[in-house]
Amino acid sequence: MTETRSTCPYCGVGCGVIIESQGAQITGVRGDPDHPANFGRLCSKGSTLHLTASEPVTLQTRLLQPLQRLQRSATPQPVSWDSALTLATDQFARIVRDHGPDAVGFYVSGQLLTEDYYVFNKLAKGLIGTNNIDTNSRLCMSSAVAGYKKTLGADAPPACYDDVNHAQTIFIVGSNTAFAHPILFRRIEDAKRKNPALKIVVADVRRTDTVELADLFLQIQPGTDVMLFNGMLHLMLWEGWTNPTFIAAHTTGFDDLKATVRDYTPDAVAQTCGISKADLLEATRLFAQSPATLSLYCQGLNQSSSGTAKNTALINLHLATGQIGKPGAAPFSLTGQPNAMGGREVGGLANLLSAHRDLANPAHRAEVAALWGVPSVPDKTGKTAVEMFQAAADGEIKALWIACTNPAQSMPDQATVRRALERAEFVVVQEAFSTTATARYADLLLPATTWGEKEGTVTNSERRISRVRAAVVPPGAPDTAPRHDWAIATDFAQRLERALGRDTTTGTLFPYPTAESVWNEHRESTRGRDLDITGMDYAQLDAKPLQWPMPEGASTGKVRLYEDGVFPTPDGRARFVNAEYRGVAEPREARYPFSLTTGRLRDQWHGMSRTGTLGRLFGHVREPVLQMHPQDMARRLIQENDLVHVTSRRGSILVPVQASPEVGLSQAFMAMHWGEEYLSGVSATGTRLAGVNALTTSAYCPDSKQPEFKHAAVKVLKADMP
Ligand code: SF4
């Protein structure tokens, strides 16, 4: 038996795993006792990874050779890698020549490794000359990125997981940590056991499993987080619980913010949020008067049309009380996906460039152009996720390259996304699995390697870079077998250089024989930046995962940021940002009287391409259900397991109901994972849809462009009613 150290491919906790293999077969997995994210523990998903890699049903769902469709409705036919990439090159070169570089778009994924992300970004922004490259991390993290940059000056979570052991108050808001980040939750449970004085405050619209650990639970109305945070600041000022010394020494903009929060009175906040004034005061006291307060937050803040405002309003609380830059005190954004952080590091969003540079900054564009050896990087902001599919639906983007993600299921307002995929002239889907809803729209399917077969790196929520290693070779015939994502992008880029007539006499822009060679170029791009990693290399990462920054000469990475009170802003001060409460984009009303929110289950991951192949992972939740409050069900004469039509302005699904007092009155909850095998739907115009995103809205935050998955107005009617 061979043992290979690697990293779990699911959530942003980034647990270390040891893969056991025999020949080409992965036979087991266990937690890596030396990995500082999990110290040997794994959750239900991580501990079954080997089964999802080896069960016969999983192998049946793998994409094992390139496939081409001559017509959209036709069965795809096997082709060689050379034919497939020649076709892709011809089509992309033709469309770029005829319609310009912005007629193509790349939609990638926080499941990709940093090396994959890097090559795709250089390919789009450096070679083709379009910033139309965005990622499904737009759907989970872009509000956190915008929030950190606006307030603290850089997209850098200041804390580490060990801070749960130093905190005296943990404020969990918009995060069902128990399900979404299970091993971090175990660490919080341990911290609470060891330190009975530790207080846990949870604010959420649902009474989730995370609330079981809470000393105080604020069940707020959907979308009212900014109201809550501004109300807490109002009370802090009233009670004298701010930290004037910290504010004076390390921040700007507090006087403006004080004027803003004057109107957020306890009466107004309690009424809008649906909580008691006493609980509001107690939450404020526990936050402000604790020796160390750690906030943990995730999609409840980010997936909102006010996502950036929610992030900045929460960070304002930390700055106002000096709860930052010391052990156990920080605003700590939890990343959903395994490498959303790595994607941010290489500039894998339509508005970013390598190493946290900004596309809007001419000096940054010039730096990246020089690093890449290209004349320039275009200044026009690329299309973000929602904009990209809307542009394809409108005929503006004519070719799409989709890697390691399933937008036909996972994007909001699914009807528009499916219209985009139908209308695009040429769609490439680069995937490990053949079963995704998006694969059906592909003109060309390119098989990619997956967990257990890949080499590279990922970065978790605490800025820790871990190695991902191959334990086995991918299945399939050697000349058509799946390839690594970075290698597919590199091969395509080299062909496109020639097709677009780039002078390659001095060599290719993509000279990458290995994942490590890609990473080394990325590492060099970080020199002198806030996330400088020039002090680490693959060999060191092989020995142990390391946190950034770690500049050349440093012996280790930085455990927590801003301990010196200096922030990466022009004047070294953090910035208070005025954030006004706006409410949800689509309020419930008489015709659509329920607030629908979406979220994760404990044992499933994303669109279930991997976890859905394993029977035991259905033991916790067997089928899709709409959770409703029992009183709402009684009022509408709906019984447990009754089938109901759930309908928004965009589509409708048919699903059984489950009574759940966890859900607030006039609210409903559905898990995000179920695809068309489990939950079919239909758009308002009759297009076949699947899953809860038949209903969700593509309304997004104006700053982060992150869509509001956490709220759509819906109606619920029993299936047998007219
Ligand atoms: Fe994997 Fe996340 Fe579970 Fe850790 S907590 S084993 S990273 S899914």
- The ligand 1 atom at the shortest distance from the C-alpha of residue 43 is 3
Pick from 5-9, 333-337, 602-606 the range whose average pLDDT is largest: 5-9
pLDDT at 478 over 90: no
List, for residues 413-447, the tens digit of each pLDDT value.
899 999 999 999 999 999 999 889 999 999 999 99
The DSSP call for residue 462 is T
Ligand 1 mean position, distance from CA 336 (Å): 11
Contact 21, 472 (CB under 8 A): yes
Pocket test for ligand 1, best of 38, 111, 185 (most atoms within 8 A of CB): 38
* CA 97/CA 90 separation, integer angstroms: 10
CATH 2.40.40.20 fits 594-718, yes or no: yes
pLDDT of res. 56 = 64
616: pLDDT confidence band, cut at 50, 70 and 90? very high
Ligand 1 binding pocket (C-beta < 6 A) is 8, 10-11, 13-15, 38, 42-43, 45-46, 181-183
Instruction: For the beta carbon of residue 501, count every other beta carbon within 10 angstroms.
Output: 9
pLDDT of res. 58 = 62
Section 388-401 average pLDDT: 98
pLDDT at 676 over 90: no
Pocket test for ligand 1, best of 6, 7, 11 (most atoms within 8 A of CB): 11
> CA angle, 247 as apex, 244 and 253 as ends, to 5°?
125
* CA 274/CA 269 separation, integer angstroms: 8
Pocket test for ligand 1, best of 32, 35, 140, 181 (most atoms within 8 A of CB): 181
List, for residues 275-295, the tens digit of each pLDDT value.
999 999 999 999 999 999 999
Section 452-457 average pLDDT: 97
Ligand 1 mean position, distance from CA 530 (Å): 27
Section 166-182 average pLDDT: 98
Ligand 1 mean position, distance from CA 450 (Å): 16
Pocket test for ligand 1, best of 7, 18, 29, 45 (most atoms within 8 A of CB): 45
What residue ranges in 362-455 does DSSP mark as E strands? 399-403, 426-431, 444-447
User: What contacts 576, CB < 8 A, 6 or more positions away?
Assistant: 151, 251, 252, 253, 254, 256, 257, 316, 319, 320
Pocket test for ligand 1, best of 30, 32, 42, 335 (most atoms within 8 A of CB): 42
pLDDT at 686 over 90: no
Contact 525, 372 (CB under 8 A): no
User: What contacts 188, CB < 8 A, 6 or more positions away?
Assistant: 164, 170, 177, 200, 213
Q: Which fold has domain 142-333?
A: Dimethylsulfoxide Reductase; domain 2 (3.40.228)
User: Which range has the worst mean pLDDT, 61-65, 245-249, 321-325, 655-659?
Assistant: 61-65
**Sign of the torsion angle spanned by Cα atoms 299, 300, 301, 305:** positive
* ipTM reported for the complex, 2 dp: 1.00
User: Which range has the worst mean pLDDT, 10-14, 251-255, 608-612?
Assistant: 608-612
- The ligand 1 atom at the shortest distance from the C-alpha of residue 184 is 5
pLDDT of res. 680 = 79
Ligand 1 mean position, distance from CA 277 (Å): 37
**Sign of the torsion angle spanned by Cα atoms 330, 335, 339, 345:** negative
Closest to 200 measured CA to CA, from 310, 315, 328: 328
pLDDT of res. 721 = 59
pLDDT at 150 over 90: yes
User: Which range has the worst mean pLDDT, 263-272, 622-631, 648-657, 688-697?
Assistant: 688-697
Ligand 1 mean position, distance from CA 16 (Å): 9
- The ligand 1 atom at the shortest distance from the C-alpha of residue 31 is 6
Ligand 1 mean position, distance from CA 516 (Å): 25
* CA 505/CA 576 separation, integer angstroms: 52
* CA 713/CA 590 separation, integer angstroms: 10
Average pLDDT of the chain is 96
pLDDT at 661 over 70: yes
pLDDT of res. 682 = 86
Question: Which tokens in the block code for residue 634?
Answer: 């009684």
Amino acid at 562: Y
Section 622-634 average pLDDT: 97
User: What contacts 614, CB < 8 A, 6 or more positions away?
Assistant: 48, 51, 52, 55, 58
Ligand 1 mean position, distance from CA 37 (Å): 9
Section 34-57 average pLDDT: 90
Question: Which tokens in the block code for residue 639?
Answer: 């019984």
- The ligand 1 atom at the shortest distance from the C-alpha of residue 17 is 6
Ligand 1 mean position, distance from CA 40 (Å): 11
117: pLDDT confidence band, cut at 50, 70 and 90? very high
Ligand 1 mean position, distance from CA 465 (Å): 15
Section 671-684 average pLDDT: 86
pLDDT of res. 435 = 87
- The ligand 1 atom at the shortest distance from the C-alpha of residue 605 is 8
Task: Tell me which residue has its CA closest to atom 2 in ligand 1.
Answer: 11
Domain boundaries defined on the chain: 67-138+363-547, 142-333, 594-718
Ligand 1 mean position, distance from CA 310 (Å): 26
Beta bridge partners of 107: 134, 402
pLDDT at 565 over 90: yes
What residue ranges in 304-448 does DSSP mark as E strands? 330-333, 352-353, 357-358, 399-403, 426-431, 444-447
Give percent of the chain above pLDDT 90. Answer: 92
> CA angle, 124 as apex, 499 and 155 as ends, to 5°?
165
Q: Which fold has domain 67-138+363-547?
A: Rossmann fold (3.40.50)
User: Which range has the worst mean pLDDT, 192-196, 471-475, 484-488, 714-718?
Assistant: 471-475
* CA 36/CA 436 separation, integer angstroms: 34
Pairing of β 199-204 and β 216-219: parallel
pLDDT of res. 718 = 94
- The ligand 1 atom at the shortest distance from the C-alpha of residue 13 is 7
* CA 510/CA 494 separation, integer angstroms: 7
Specify burial of residue 461 (Cβ count, 10 A radius: 0-12, 13-18, 19+).
Answer: buried
Helix (H, G, I), strand (E, B) or coil at 432: coil
Ligand 1 mean position, distance from CA 179 (Å): 10
Amino acid at 674: W
Section 108-122 average pLDDT: 97
List, for residues 528-555, the tens digit of each pLDDT value.
999 999 999 999 999 999 999 999 999 9
Closest to 14 measured CA to CA, from 314, 339, 281, 363: 339
List, for residues 55-111, the tens digit of each pLDDT value.
665 667 899 999 999 888 889 999 999 999 999 999 999 999 999 999 999 999 999
pLDDT of res. 335 = 93
Ligand 1 mean position, distance from CA 45 (Å): 7
- What dihedral angle (degrees, nearest 10) is formed by the CA atoms of 630, 633, 638, 641? -40
Task: Tell me which residue has its CA closest to atom 4 in ligand 1.
Answer: 15
